[in-house]
Every structure is written in structure tokens, then in C-alpha cells.
């Protein structure tokens, strides 16, 4: 190939540079957009969890006030103080304990106890070890006695388990100096595994790395207070230096709240949102790995770079062809006629106009050349545009024309190149959005020719608008879900607690004792209140199935079954028969445990004999396992075998069996969410439930894993 003239080499370099800069700027803009979307979603999830924690603390404080105001308990404690070291004192403390047991059963506290001024237990639900309260609980008691309001302790170890205490002094407003001097206080002991840690683990979107955690500062260390998704350490056991560079939790503890780009406890780059939890020394961090958040955009970036390289090769080929033709024309100019030169110029112009992207040249802000790609994009012919101002592309939008002109020519004078987005109108009236890049043909000469490229980005803009709409819908859906959880856990529970309290007061205040018939009605009322609370719990659990993937862990099916069997405390005549081939595998352990607990509990609860057997077996299927739970109970008639999986369905009267009728509905929905199937088989006596479960923690479904019974 002959030497390429310098002018054409310059044109080639300018064209390729403009294409590279334009493409790279576009891809970087898309990455910034993806990052902003991830930050917005993280902030929304963090605020939702902060509200849930605040509601939980408010409800537990209300429970403390309710218990501290119980008249029966207060009368009994007053009598105990007036008659110490007597049989009356022992009897009155037993009355207090019975009230504490009632509250503990209704609200599912780990323990409730009354302590004296020396911080030793006076009476409680669990046996007393005789030791004074630990330092963390004692500190909370001091603050509560000073303020007279419910006070929370921090998470701490109590007798080998993690707890949070809610404490409130008793007889604060009493005029009896002896009672006030006793320093009596109520201590409600909460298990963070019962609500707080599951709340933190819940994530509204499928994710392999997303996580919410809480931490506090101790000296110059960050102490992690909740289980960590990517480490086996228990809460309070794992610590990192507060000075660790980039650690999101450390930034939050130093007062940096909001979106944080740094790393987590593994040293992995993350996008995070940090917030202080009101009323505590905790900082909450909601985070996701940067690689996961930007994975889609980075794949698109690689694809875009490939397309950019292909376009550059095409443009280079066109420009080199033009250059070769121009060089040949110069060498043969003396021997060719003017007609031949004109014909050659026409061919060169055809090559320019046939370029794969919109290319134009202006002189004195008037169009002097456009490519065929440019004509196709705006729906005009070359003849309609040559000699015209770019004003013809803006319709009636004078403001947009002025804005783009200032953005392009103002920057060209100082930097030699410019880029902006513009809203154009095609000849047929259709609006489009273009990415416009311009550069001076002669650098440093703002009065010379200007070359510009245009790319139609209308579809990209429409996609951005649709993405914004979907984000808005997600926020609205999350708000509706939060409102439902609030109603179910607060507004519906408050009347139930009032009914239970009224029933208790009726028994206490009825003169001459309670007739057996009335006592039976009140017992039935309490049973139905408790059933309603269980129903609310199950409804909330049903609504949250599938919103949280849970932790991937080693699931020992045999150990899970033994734990469930022992937890339900069956009569001595019952036994658990486990297949030796029951597997241990990595999976979503929490939902699998819930399914097995429900099935084993149903087998024991609905058995009609004083002795029986519950059996569990498993077999491998494509993609996972088929697990069967069977019993030798009364069986299920065929006409009811599909109905039992519906909401609120039981085959016995409501008062004949404890339960909400939600157990098998929860089981079916959980199995369906993770792609499995569940079936029931019962011929006469005995029932077998079999369900499939994924054996690979990265699989979402088992569509090809049949149960063998249809």
C-alpha cells in the first residue's frame, strides 16, 4: 500500500479518537447510573429495617408498661413487702410468678423476673441462680430507676446465651416510702434470635451477597452484634480495628451516615448504606458486593467495547480507503482529466455518506456535508440539509437549540471537543434523543470546520424512564408491605392484648369466686385470643416467604428432625424412625427447617393414639433430594388431600386442636418458592408427605425433580 497523506491520517486519528471518547463516556455514564440505582435501593431497604427495629422496640416498651401496671401483681408484691418471711409472702410471690408466666407465654419472652434494689431476683419465670444481675443489666436498671421509663440494655451474654433486657421500675409513683425504697423493677428478657436477627437477615430481593448487620464501638474496635452471612463467628465474637481503612461499619461508627463506598469485614469492595439505630449505640449497615451490584453493567461494558472496536475498524477501513483513493488521485492528477477527478470525488463522497454512524461537517455553523447514516437518522435528504443551520433539527424548541449551541461551541473554543445530549425532531415529526460529539478539524482554530458524530439514544432514554417507573413501583410495594406488617403486628395485636387483660381482671375482680361455667368461658376466650395471635404470626410468616433467601449452611436432615421431635415433647409411646440415608448438604437451611418442623409437628398433633411412629426418609432426585415424612395416624380421606394445603384449613373443629390452619399452606408456599413440589399419600391409616428440595445452594428450582407420585 502506498503512503497515506498526513491529512487523511489526521482525519483517521480524529475519527477514531472521537468514537473511543464518545463510547467510553457513554459506558461510564451507564455504570454511574447503575451505581446510583443500587445506592437508592440500599437506602430504601435500610430505612425500612430501621423503622421495623423502632416499631419492635416501641412494642416491647409497651409490654413492659403493661406488665408493670398489672394490679394483681402490684397488690401481691405490696402484700409480700408487708408480710416478709411468712407463708403469706410465699403465696403472694407465687401469684406474681403466675402472672409473669402468663405474660411470658403470651408474648414469648425468654424470661420475666422482678428484681430488688440489690439487683437480685425476687421472683421470676426461670429458676434463680442467686447471683445479682450482670453488669449490662445492672446498668440498664440504674438508668431506668433514674428516669422511670422503659430502658433497653445492649446485647450481652447471659448464662451462655445472647439476650436483650427491657427494664422498668415498679411503684415509681407510689406514696409508700417502704415500697419505693425496695427498688423493685421488672426485667423482660428478649432473645434477639426470635425477632431482631431474622429481621436483619430478611432481604426483599434475591441476592447472593446482600446483608444487613449491626455493630457497636468498644474502645478502638468494631464489635459485630449480629450473625454475619459470610463468616461463621457468633455475635459479639468477631472484632476489627476502628481505624481499618474503608470498613463501612467503622465509617458509620465514626458518624458517617448514608451511602458509603468501601469494603466489608472480608475486605471485599461493597456499596453500603449506614445509619444509626435510634436509642442505641448501634450502627446498622445494609450492603451488597460491588461486583454483584454492577455485574450487568460490566457485562454490557465488555459488549460495548467490542462493538466500539468493530465500529473503529469499520471507520478506519473507510478512512484508509478514502486516503488511498486521495493519494492515488494526487499521483495521477497530471494525467487525468477534470471529468475523471470529478467522478473520483463523487465516489469518495459516496463512501463518506455510507458510513455506519451519523457524520456531519459544518463551516460557519452551516452544514456542508452529511453521511447517509445522518440522513436516515433525521429522515431528510442531503440536499435538504446542505447549507442549513442545525436549527432545522429542533422543531419549535428554541430553548433547546440555544442550550445545545452554547454547550457545544462554548466548549469547543476552550477544549477543542465537546459532547452533549440533544432533543431533535425528525422531518416526520417524531422526537428523538441523540448523543452529539463534536471536534475542531483544525485544533486551536475555533473558526474552522467542525466534524460531529450523532448516535440515536432514544431507546436508552426510554429504558431509563421505564427503570425509574419500576423503581417507584418497588418502593410503593415495599411501603405497602411495611404497612401490612405494622397493622398485623401492632394494630391487630393491641385489641387482643386488651381482651386477654380484661379476661384476667374479670377473674380477679369477680366477688365470691368465679363460677365454673364462667371460668370455662374465660378459658375459651383466652384460648381463642392465643389462637388469633398465632394466626397473625403465621400470616406474617406466609407473606414473607420467598422475600429472604436465608443463610446457606450445612443442613443435617436427621439432626433437624430429632430437634423438631424433641421440641414438640410427644408422649412416651411415640418414637421417631430416621432413615440412615438421610443426607447432609449445603442449602438454604432456615426454610428447610421450617418445612420439616411443620410436617413433624402435624404428624404428632393430629395422631389419635397414645403411641405411634413418625418416620423420615430421603432419596436423591435430579438437582436435589425428595424427603418424605410419614406417620401411622388416622390418615386423610382422598377428598380432603388437596384442601388441607389451603389457608385456614383444618379437618377438626377449631377448639378440638390448637393451630391456625396455616401450617401446610406455609409448607406448600415455601416448597413452591424454591422450585420444589409437595404431595400427600394416604390409603386408610397413615399419611406420607413428600417434597423435593434443591441440593445445590445456587439453584432456585427443581422443575425436573419429580416426586414419583404425581
Q: SS3 sequence, 439-485? A: EECCCCCCCCCEEEEEEECHHHHHHHHHHHHHHHHHHHHHHHHHHHH
Do residues 173 and 258 both lie within one domain? no
Do residues 275 and 372 both lie within one domain? no
pLDDT > 70? residue 217: yes
50 located within any domain: no
CATH classification of the domain holding 235: 3.30.450
Burial of residue 440 (number of CB atoms within 10 Å: 0-12, 13-18, 19+)? buried
pLDDT > 70? residue 337: no
Which of 171, 196, 221 lies at the terminal end of a domain, its last residue?
196
CA count, 13 A, side-chain hemisphere, 115: 32
Neighbours of 674 (CB within 10 A): 23
Q: Strands (DSSP E) along 153-282, which ranges?
A: 156-158, 161-169, 185-190, 211-218, 221-224, 239-241, 258-263, 269-276
Burial of residue 678 (number of CB atoms within 10 Å: 0-12, 13-18, 19+)? buried
CA dihedral 11, 16, 18, 21 (to 10 degrees): -160
Q: Could you tell me if residue 269 is left (phi over 0), alpha (psi between -120 and 50 degrees) or otherwise beta?
A: beta
State the pLDDT confidence band at 698, using cuts at 50, 70 and 90: low
* CA–CA gap between residue 568 and residue 605 (Å, rounded): 9
* CA–CA gap between residue 50 and residue 200 (Å, rounded): 10
State the pLDDT confidence band at 35, using cuts at 50, 70 and 90: confident
* CA–CA gap between residue 81 and residue 74 (Å, rounded): 11
Q: Using alpha carbons, select from 619, 616, 592 the residue that is nearest to residue 604.
A: 616
State the pLDDT confidence band at 112, using cuts at 50, 70 and 90: very high
Per residue, the 3-state secondary structure of 617-646, as one string, reads: EEEEECCEEEEEEEECCCCCCHHHCCHHHC
> Grid coordinates in use for 250?
467503622
> Grid coordinates in use for 44?
430504601
Q: Using an 8 Å Cβ cutoff, are 248 and 274 in contact?
A: yes
More confident residue, 333 or 634: 634
Buried b (16+ CB within 10 A) or exposed e, 87-101: eebeebbebbbebbe
pLDDT > 50? residue 166: yes
For 336-362, what is the mean pLDDT? Answer: 63
Q: Using alpha carbons, select from 187, 185, 123, 128 the residue that is nearest to residue 152.
A: 187
Specify the pLDDT at position 656.
46
pLDDT (tens digit per residue) in 408-467:
887 877 777 888 888 898 988 899 888 888 888 777 776 778 887 888 888 888 888 888
Do residues 153 and 170 both lie within one domain? yes
Backbone angles phi, psi at 679, to 5 degrees: -140, 160
pLDDT (tens digit per residue) in 616-654:
999 999 889 999 999 998 888 887 767 777 654 455 544
512 located within any domain: no
Specify the pLDDT at position 369.
83
Do residues 377 and 407 both lie within one domain? yes
pLDDT > 90? residue 225: yes
For 259-278, what is the mean pLDDT? Answer: 91
Do residues 73 and 166 both lie within one domain? yes
236 contact partners, CB below 8 Å, separation of at least 6: 155, 156, 157, 162, 223, 224, 225
534 located within any domain: no
Per residue, the 3-state secondary structure of 491-514, as one string, reads: HCHHHHHHHHHHHHHHHHHCCCCC
Query: What's the CA angle centered on 114, arms 108 and 118, to 5 degrees?
Result: 140
Q: Using an 8 Å Cβ cutoff, are 42 and 54 in contact?
A: no
Specify the pLDDT at position 535.
56
Report which DSSP code applies to 392. Answer: G
306 located within any domain: no
Highest average pLDDT, of 279-283, 409-413, 700-704, comes from 279-283
For 139-157, what is the mean pLDDT? Answer: 93
CA count, 13 A, side-chain hemisphere, 338: 0
Do residues 264 and 180 both lie within one domain? no
Specify the pLDDT at position 295.
78
Do residues 590 and 686 both lie within one domain? yes
pLDDT > 50? residue 708: no
Q: Could you tell me the maximum CA-CA distance found in the chain, to the nearest angstrom?
A: 132
More confident residue, 49 or 696: 49
Do residues 687 and 636 both lie within one domain? yes
CA count, 13 A, side-chain hemisphere, 527: 12
Specify the pLDDT at position 2.
47
170 located within any domain: yes
339 located within any domain: no
Beta bridge partners of 218: 221
Which of 275, 293, 311 lies at the terminal end of a domain, its last residue?
293
More confident residue, 152 or 345: 152
Burial of residue 452 (number of CB atoms within 10 Å: 0-12, 13-18, 19+)? buried
CATH classification of the domain holding 185: 3.30.450.20
Do residues 192 and 209 both lie within one domain? no
CATH classification of the domain holding 576: 3.30.565.10
Q: Using alpha carbons, select from 144, 80, 72, 75 the residue that is nearest to residue 101.
A: 72
**Average confidence score pLDDT of the chain:** 80
Number of domains making up the chain? 4
pLDDT (tens digit per residue) in 2-20:
455 666 667 667 777 776 7
Specify the pLDDT at position 520.
74
pLDDT (tens digit per residue) in 523-547:
777 766 665 665 555 555 545 555 5
For 289-306, what is the mean pLDDT? Answer: 74
- The secondary structure element, H or E, covering residue 324 is helix 295-332
pLDDT (tens digit per residue) in 482-519:
566 556 655 566 666 667 777 777 777 776 667 777 77
Do residues 190 and 224 both lie within one domain? no
- Residues shown for the chain: 710
Q: Which residue has the cell 439453584?
A: 699
Q: Which residue has the cell 428432625?
A: 561
State the pLDDT confidence band at 701, using cuts at 50, 70 and 90: very low
- The secondary structure element, H or E, covering residue 403 is helix 398-415
> Grid coordinates in use for 23?
463510547
Do residues 80 and 144 both lie within one domain? yes
334 located within any domain: no
Q: Which residue has the cell 423420615?
A: 616
Share of the chain residues as helix, strand and coil, in percent rounded to the nearest 5: 50, 20, 30
Specify the pLDDT at position 227.
94
pLDDT > 50? residue 706: no
Which of 436, 456, 476 lies at the terminal end of a domain, its last residue?
456
669 located within any domain: yes
Report which DSSP code applies to 491. Answer: I
pLDDT (tens digit per residue) in 17-27:
776 777 667 76
Do residues 186 and 258 both lie within one domain? no
Backbone angles phi, psi at 227, to 5 degrees: -60, 140
* CA–CA gap between residue 525 and residue 176 (Å, rounded): 37
* CA–CA gap between residue 149 and residue 143 (Å, rounded): 9
Burial of residue 135 (number of CB atoms within 10 Å: 0-12, 13-18, 19+)? exposed
pLDDT > 50? residue 710: no
Specify the pLDDT at position 702.
40
Domain of 451? 364-456
State the pLDDT confidence band at 655, using cuts at 50, 70 and 90: very low
For 286-294, what is the mean pLDDT? Answer: 88
pLDDT > 80? residue 113: yes
pLDDT (tens digit per residue) in 64-92:
999 888 888 888 888 888 887 777 888 88
Amino acid at each position: 500500500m502506498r503512503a497515506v497523506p498526513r491529512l487523511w491520517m489526521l482525519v483517521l486519528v480524529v475519527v477514531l479518537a472521537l468514537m473511543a471518547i464518545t463510547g467510553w463516556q457513554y459506558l461510564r455514564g451507564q455504570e454511574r447510573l447503575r451505581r446510583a440505582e443500587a445506592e437508592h435501593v440500599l437506602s430504601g431497604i435500610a430505612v425500612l429495617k430501621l423503622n421495623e427495629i423502632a416499631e419492635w422496640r416501641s412494642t416491647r416498651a409497651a409490654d413492659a408498661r403493661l406488665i408493670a401496671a398489672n394490679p394483681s401483681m402490684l397488690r401481691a408484691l405490696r402484700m409480700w413487702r408487708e408480710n416478709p418471711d411468712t407463708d403469706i409472702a410465699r403465696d403472694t410471690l407465687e401469684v406474681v410468678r403466675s402472672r409473669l408466666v402468663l405474660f411470658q407465654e403470651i408474648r414469648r419472652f425468654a424470661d420475666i423476673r422482678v428484681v430488688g434494689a440489690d439487683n437480685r431476683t425476687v421472683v421470676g419465670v426461670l429458676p434463680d441462680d442467686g447471683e445479682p444481675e450482670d453488669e449490662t443489666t445492672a446498668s440498664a436498671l440504674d438508668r431506668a430507676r433514674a428516669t422511670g421509663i422503659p430502658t433497653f440494655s445492649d446485647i450481652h451474654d447471659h448464662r451462655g446465651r445472647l439476650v436483650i433486657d427491657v427494664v422498668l421500675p415498679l411503684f415509681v409513683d407510689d406514696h409508700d416510702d417502704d415500697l419505693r425504697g425496695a427498688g423493685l423493677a421488672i426485667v423482660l428478657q428478649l432473645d434477639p434470635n426470635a425477632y431482631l436477627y431474622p429481621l436483619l437477615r430478611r432481604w426483599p430481593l434475591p441476592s447472593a451477597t446482600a446483608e444487613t448487620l449491626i455493630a457497636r464501638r468498644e474502645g478502638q474496635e468494631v464489635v459485630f452484634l449480629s450473625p454475619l452471612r459470610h463468616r461463621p463467628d457468633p455475635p459479639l465474637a468477631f472484632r476489627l480495628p476502628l481505624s481499618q481503612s474503608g470498613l463501612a461499619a467503622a465509617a458509620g461508627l465514626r458518624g458517617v451516615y448514608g451511602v458509603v463506598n468501601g469494603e466489608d469485614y472480608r475486605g471485599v469492595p461493597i456499596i453500603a448504606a449506614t445509619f444509626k439505630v435510634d436509642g442505641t449505640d448501634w450502627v446498622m449497615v445494609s450492603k451488597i458486593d460491588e461486583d454483584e451490584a454492577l455485574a450487568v453493567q460490566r457485562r454490557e461494558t465488555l459488549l460495548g467495547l467490542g462493538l466500539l472496536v468493530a465500529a473503529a475498524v469499520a471507520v478506519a477501513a473507510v478512512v484508509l480507503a478514502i486516503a488511498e483513493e486521495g493519494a492515488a488521485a494526487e499521483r495521477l492528477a497530471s494525467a487525468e482529466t477534470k471529468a475523471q477527478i470529478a467522478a473520483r470525488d463523487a465516489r469518495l463522497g459516496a463512501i463518506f455518506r455510507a458510513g455506519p454512524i451519523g457524520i456531519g461537517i459544518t463551516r460557519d455553523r452551516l452544514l456542508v456535508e452529511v453521511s447517509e447514516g445522518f440522513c436516515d437518522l433525521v429522515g431528510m435528504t442531503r440536499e435538504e440539509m446542505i447549507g442549513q443551520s442545525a436549527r432545522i433539527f429542533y422543531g419549535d424548541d428554541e430553548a433547546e437549540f440555544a442550550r445545545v449551541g452554547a454547550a457545544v461551541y462554548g466548549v469547543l473554543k476552550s477544549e477543542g471537543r465537546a459532547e452533549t445530549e440533544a432533543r431533535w425532531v425528525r422531518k416526520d415529526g417524531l422526537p428523538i434523543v441523540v448523543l452529539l460529539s463534536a471536534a475542531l478539524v483544525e485544533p486551536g482554530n475555533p473558526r474552522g470546520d467542525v466534524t460531529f458524530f450523532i448516535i440515536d439514544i432514544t431507546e436508552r432514554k426510554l429504558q431509563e424512564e421505564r427503570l425509574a417507573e419500576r423503581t417507584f413501583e418497588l418502593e410503593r410495594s415495599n411501603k405497602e408491605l411495611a404497612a401490612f406488617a405494622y397493622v398485623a403486628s401492632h394494630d391487630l395485636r393491641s385489641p387482643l392484648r386488651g381482651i386477654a387483660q380484661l379476661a384476667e381482671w374479670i377473674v380477679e375482680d369477680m366477688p365470691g369466686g368465679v363460677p365454673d361455667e364462667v371460668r370455662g368461658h374465660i378459658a375459651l376466650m383466652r384460648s381463642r385470643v392465643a389462637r388469633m395471635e398465632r394466626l397473625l404470626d403465621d400470616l406474617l410468616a406466609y407473606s414473607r416467604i420467598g422475600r429472604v433467601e436465608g443463610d446457606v449452611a450445612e443442613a443435617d436432615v436427621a439432626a433437624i428432625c430429632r430437634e423438631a421431635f424433641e421440641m414438640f415433647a410427644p408422649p412416651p409411646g411415640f418414637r421417631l424412625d430416621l432413615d440412615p440415608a438421610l443426607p447432609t448438604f449445603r442449602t438454604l437451611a432456615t426454610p428447610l427447617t421450617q418445612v420439616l418442623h411443620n410436617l413433624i409437628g402435624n404428624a404428632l398433633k393430629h395422631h389419635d393414639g397414645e403411641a405411634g411412629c413418625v418416620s423420615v426418609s430421603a432419596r436423591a432426585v435430579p438437582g436435589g433430594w425428595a424427603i418424605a415424612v410419614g406417620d401411622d395416624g388416622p390418615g386423610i380421606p382422598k377428598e380432603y388431600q388437596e384442601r388441607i394445603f389451603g389457608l385456614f384449613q383444618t379437618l377438626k373443629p377449631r377448639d378440638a386442636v390448637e393451630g391456625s390452619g396455616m401450617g401446610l399452606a406455609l409448607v406448600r408456599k415455601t416448597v413452591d418458592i424454591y422450585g420444589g413440589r409437595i404431595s400427600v399419600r394416604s390409603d386408610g391409616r397413615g399419611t406420607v408427605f413428600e417434597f423435593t428440595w434443591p441440593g445445590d445452594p445456587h439453584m432456585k428450582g427443581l422443575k425436573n425433580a419429580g416426586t414419583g407420585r404425581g
